[in-house]
Amino acid sequence: NFSQVTEFILIGLSDKKELQVLYFTFFFLAYTMVLLGNLLIIVTVRSDPQLSSPMYFLLCHLSFIDICCTSVISPRLLVDLLFQRKSIAFEACVAQLFFLHFVGASEMFLLTAMAYDRYAAICKPLHYTALMSRQVCWVLVSACWVGGFLHSIVQTLLTIQLPFCGPNKIDNYFCDVPPVIRLACTDIYVTEWLMASNSGLISLLCFLVLVTSYTFILVTIRVRFTEGHWKALSTCGSHMLIVTLFFVPCIFIYLWPFSASPSDKHICVIYTVICPVMNPLIYTLRNNEVKASMWKLWKNCR
């Protein structure tokens, strides 16, 4: 694409040494919690036959995606916080952009699949076994990964076809589509619209589907409220909290890529770091079955 830029400079969250030390501590602890928490969920679900329902099957895949998503950004970020010059090669930047959108879009689709699972369990309990068989679960998970790949490859191709020949400073702590394409030496108006229709609309449509499914769930619970439905409502409430924290920043960032804001990179922290940290906390501390399985796993390991 006739690009003359061989590397980009990541400006990061701050150039103050004191804040960099604080950020390093925060992101290191967050990354450690993501790895340990999600690995614990995966091991617990895999080791306990009682956690074989579709909900836990999807939760296990969500934990794996969270590990992948935060591993695309956090290790590089932690290294950059230790050095003043935060440079990244052009090829490495494109690779980070690709894998970030690959796992990020896959997580969006998986959260939508998890909402469908809760809808089927609560609104269609008599048909739940047929609607969410193991074959259907594998089809849903496979579709999430394929959809994430297709989304990411489109974003990557739209980015690498642009010429980069001038500025190379990215006002962020990782390579993402909006800040990268603003450095292109050409008019990016059409590209920005294509980016918005890809990332932005996917985020918005998935979020609307999720809100719609939870609306049906709330209506169903209101009509026939039982103790079992209260448990389901608690699970859906936790799920909706994660969904809101994940989708709203994505919609804000990707649906309006035309107007850059200095706060964009701080908003990115919500869905790249905070959400992966909260997933294992919410799905374990608010779930008695998972906590009981973890306790049993701990006693067996002693």
Q: Looking at mean pLDDT, say which of 1-5, 81-85, 153-157, 277-281 comes out highest.
A: 153-157
Q: Are 40 and 294 in contact (CB under 8 A)?
A: yes
Q: How many CB atoms lie within 10 A of CB 216?
A: 14
- Whole-model pTM: value is 0.88
Q: pLDDT by residue (tens digit) across 6-45? A: 888 888 887 787 788 888 999 999 999 999 989 988 888 8
CB 246 within 8 A of CB 261: no
Residue 49 has pLDDT above 60, yes or no: yes
User: 284 vs 64, 228, 266, CA distance in Å?
Assistant: 15, 18, 27
- When pLDDT is averaged across residues 163-189 and rounded to a whole number, the result is 85
Most confident among 14-18, 249-253, 280-284 (mean pLDDT): 249-253
Query: Is the CB of residue 160 less than 8 Å from the CB of residue 1?
Result: yes
Are 194 and 158 contacting, i.e. CB atoms less than 8 angstroms apart?
Answer: yes
In this prediction, residues 254-282 reach a mean pLDDT of: 77
Q: Is the dihedral of CA 185, 189, 194, 198 positive or negative?
A: positive
pLDDT tens-digit readout, 136-170? 999 999 999 999 999 999 999 988 888 888 788 88
Tokens of 226: 């039982």
Q: Which residue has the tokens 């906590």?
A: 291
Q: How far is CA 110 from the centre of its chain?
A: 10
The pLDDT of 283-293, averaged and rounded, is 70
CATH code for the part of the protein at 7-297:
1.20.1070.10
Convert the pLDDT of each residue in 53-67 to its tens digit. Answer: 888 899 889 999 999
Share of the chain above pLDDT 90, in %: 22
The residue-averaged pLDDT of 113-134 equals 86
Annotate 69-85 with b (16+ C-beta within 10 A) or e (fewer).
bbbbbbebbeebbeeee
**Separation of alpha carbons 43 and 49, rounded Å:** 12
Please, are residues 114 and 176 in contact by the beta-carbon 8 Å criterion?
no
Q: In which band, very low, low, confident or very high, does the pLDDT at 1 lie, cut at 50, 70 and 90?
A: very low
Stretch 174-178: mean pLDDT: 88
Longest dimension (CA), the chain: 65
Task: Kindly give the pairing relationship between strand 87-89 and strand 7-10.
Answer: antiparallel
| pLDDT, tens only, 226-242 | 555 565 566 667 777 77
What is the rounded distance in angstroms from the CA atom of residue 60 to the CA atom of residue 229? 23
